[in-house]
Structure 1
């Protein structure tokens, strides 16, 4: 579904019982709302209402001129919630989606019942410029994300997963390659220019921080530290998963997610 907005369109998907508690999902850089396909059936079976949104310039959401900020991307989520007359929600975010969740917890405390932040960071990584700079250069030269698609997939999912699920792996890779350059660059610049670390102690919502044990960027040690910064934070890991544990280990991720949501009822 599409929500026309000022100078752009926001894409979202809403399914489940109208009276169910709402769980909002926000995906990683270069993905789209389809990255949460493995979570939707489990949540619907448990009676939740599921709202998935696309970042600016990702999936069906149109891009705006770069750069973006994490707070702007969080405001996009609130805009969708407002349009759907959803007052409160549980929020689940992966990677940049987890950064968006932190912004929501800091700035919209009255809108979130809980936060699950997966494979994320609480401030710009120190190597942001050297990490994304060459990739942005390659994207601009090619006019697409095709040059970085395989590198991205190598960070996201293990070789074992690719061998066992070649069709799903290709779906995700095609989505990465098809992401709009403007959307990717705008969101990458948002990741390169934010810091929430020193303010996370003010977030009162319950927070679960999760991470794949093999994630090369948002490491388990860093994730445990982020969890410790929240007054009501805790940590859970997924052994043997990389950056996208909800896809790599959907059964384990869904069990953790449903237990978490159940504990917040």
Structure 2
């Protein structure tokens, strides 16, 4: 996609980002799932840009951002967001993250609450009990440049059979995003997820929070979202009859929930 801009983090990582919508609108920041790029939000941009200055970015290790070697941490991924906001002289944003993006959103709510107005956490978890599985995938990524198996795994986890088993240009686009992801970058992000445990500290989030779950999500289970919503004081929970990429599988229901939360009727 054209119109990406770039900035460099304090540890020397080049991060790609994009802005859409009028410059005088409040900023809504969107953060992507693992193994995707900022295009995963394309279906929402036309509508969101009527109300917000929409800031999207390729998380380190994804899209057109750099993919440094070694294990990443959720702390580093969160600080990438803070440094991007600093570089753009943006003080506060509404923040919406899905999957890994929702993990970053939890970190921001805990450690950088002064930068967040409203927080939306979609299809995410405070903790995944799969360290051995992540270690095995990290080892496998060290020896290959072929992301086909990873693409098959992610697509199987992300979308229902009805979307996967017939020709679907949107699903093909997500497959291509996985295939284009740096194996080194994916391994670094797998390490961040492997080492994450926010089950206790997420109680410190004090920003207005909406949690969106997929009823049929097999990775970040609906019970994980229920746990987050029960732990964050005053959080709202919406469970959609979807798998993992709820903004794509059920875009109308997803947007209705998001807009009702960000722009409540007065």
Give TM-score, length-normalised by structure 2.
0.93
Aligned partners of 1:113 and 1:205 also within 8 Å: yes
State yes or no: 1:20 paired with 2:25: yes
Give the Cα–Cα distance (whole angstroms) in 2 for the partners of residues 144 and 73 of structure 1.
25
Partner of 1:248: 249
Give the Cα–Cα distance (whole angstroms) in 1 for the partners of residues 213 and 54 of structure 2.
22
Among 148, 153, 167, the alignment partner of 2:155 is 153
After TM superposition, where is structure 1 displaced by more than 4 Å over at least 4 residues in a row?
Answer: none
Partner of 2:131: 128
Partner of 2:121: 117
Aligned partners of 2:155 and 2:164 also within 8 Å: no
Give the Cα–Cα distance (whole angstroms) in 1 for the partners of residues 198 and 8 of structure 2.
30
Report how many aligned residue pairs link the two structures: 261
Q: CA deviation at 1:242?
A: 0.9
Give TM-score, length-normalised by structure 1.
0.94
Give the Cα–Cα distance (whole angstroms) in 1 for the partners of residues 166 and 254 of structure 2.
18
Partner of 2:79: 75
Q: CA deviation at 1:211?
A: 1.1
For the structure 1 residues 102 and 152, does the alpha-carbon distance in structure 2 shift closer, same or farther, using more than 3 Å as the test? same
Q: CA deviation at 1:4?
A: 3.1
Aligned partners of 2:156 and 2:164 also within 8 Å: no
RMSD: 1.6
Q: Which runs of 5+ in 1 are unaligned?
A: none
Give the Cα–Cα distance (whole angstroms) in 2 for the partners of residues 163 and 137 of structure 1.
30
Q: CA deviation at 1:165?
A: 6.0
Give the Cα–Cα distance (whole angstroms) in 2 for the partners of residues 252 and 244 of structure 1.
12
